[in-house]
Amino acid sequence: MDFRDCYGRDPEGSWRAPGRVNLIGEHTDYNDGFVLPFALAQGVTVTAARRDDGVLELRSLQSPDALRVTDPEPGRVTGWAAYAAGVAWALRKAGYDVGGASILIDSDLPQGAGLSSSAALECAVALALCDLYGIEVPRPELARIAQRAENDFVGMPCGIMDQSASLLCTEGHALLLDCRSGLSAQVPLDLTGLSLLVIDTRAQHELVDGGYAARRAACEEAARLLGVPALRDVEDLAAALRALDDPVLRRRTQHVVTDDHRVQAAVGLLRAGAVAEVGALLTASHLSLRDQFEVSWPEADVAVEEAVRAGARGARMVGGGFGGSVIALVPADRAEGVRAAVTVAYADRGWEAPRFTDAVPSAGAHRVS
């Protein structure tokens, strides 16, 4: 089925936005910290044409639903369509005069795998609507508009990382993003002799179920008690931990502060060409996410343990947590062994077989036709 089959007319163009893997720096974005994502080759493609009546027609090749949205407002649109409708709403709220559109969505990103299919959808729709209506929006601002769609329309209090990665990443690089200033830098990610293996643990995650919001609220409370604007501003971690009476807030603070430092260490190693040495930072980040931030899950812990045992230089869960994927930095000649070891470990536990993808640092969102 193509656009003409759905809408009975030709499209005006197609736009594609990638998913992302965050190499390191998890739950640091909404703490005004640093992240280091890169774009995937997999993503979301939006094919679209203008409508002159202001209506948004939304269809997805991954869903049987066909929706017409006449007046997008928070709470009126749910499910996958909310991410698309929310972008139109956020663009209009930002003062951009975007009208209606017929939109067909296709994706080769697995939903619920923690690879940011939602941000890819938002960014593809944002590019499409801007191009259709001749609107020039700087990419960092467009990322903030897409983030607002997810925060205020969908109701998921994400940070700015996923939208920035989808819009700003370049091929062969990771994106060092300062989530406070919005400033970014491209960092070479040369995988010669190595593979970045994404392991979809097949444990679906839903970040709108409250666990993510609870972690964000805890971080904000810790920052308030410490008298800093955000946990990024903690300079003396030991003193901060002594000042917090609540053991949960201490654990959340320890993770955020140390993962911010791991991002900076990883950038130094990548710029020095010591990519394999980043592996130890990945594993340390996973242990912190498991023990201090408490967002890991059994399938991820097993995948990390088995990957490292089989020769990975390091591995960690990626995404917001509670399900999704693991990334492993693997010498190229060990990749098949890592795949086999994780697969056997899952089978031994009666779990659904994991899925594997070679993650190739790819280009950000763009018009494809």
Question: Residues in the chain, how many?
Answer: 369
pLDDT value of residue 279: 98
Radius of gyration of the chain (CA): 20
CB 360 within 8 A of CB 190: no
201 is in an annotated binding site: no
Residue 111 confidence (pLDDT):
74
pLDDT of res. 323: 92
Question: 190 an active-site residue?
Answer: no
- Contact present, 285 and 266 (Cβ < 8 Å): no
Instruction: Check whether 25 is labelled as a binding-site residue.
Output: no
Mean pLDDT of the chain: 95
Residue 285 assigned as binding residue: no
Tell me which DSSP letter residue 41 carries: E
Question: Can you give 234-288 as a three-state secondary structure string?
Answer: CCCHHHHHHHCCCHHHHHHHHHHHHHHHHHHHHHHHHHCCCHHHHHHHHHHHHHH
Q: Is 5 annotated as a binding residue?
A: no
Angle (CA) 139 145 146, round 5°: 90
Looking at 2, 5, 131, 162, which residue is catalytic? 162
Ranges of the chain with pLDDT below 70: 205-209
Alpha-carbon span 266 to 1, nearest angstrom: 44
Give this prediction's pTM.
0.92
Q: What is the pLDDT of residue 360?
A: 95
3 state DSSP class of 320: coil
Tell whether 113 is in a known binding site.
yes
212 marked as part of a ligand binding site:
yes
pLDDT computed for residue 288 by the predictor:
98
Q: What is residue 122's predicted lDDT score, i.e. its pLDDT?
A: 98
Find out whether 150 is annotated in a ligand binding site: yes
2 sits in the region (left: phi over 0; alpha: psi -120 to 50; else beta) called: beta
Confirm whether residue 28 is marked as ligand binding.
yes
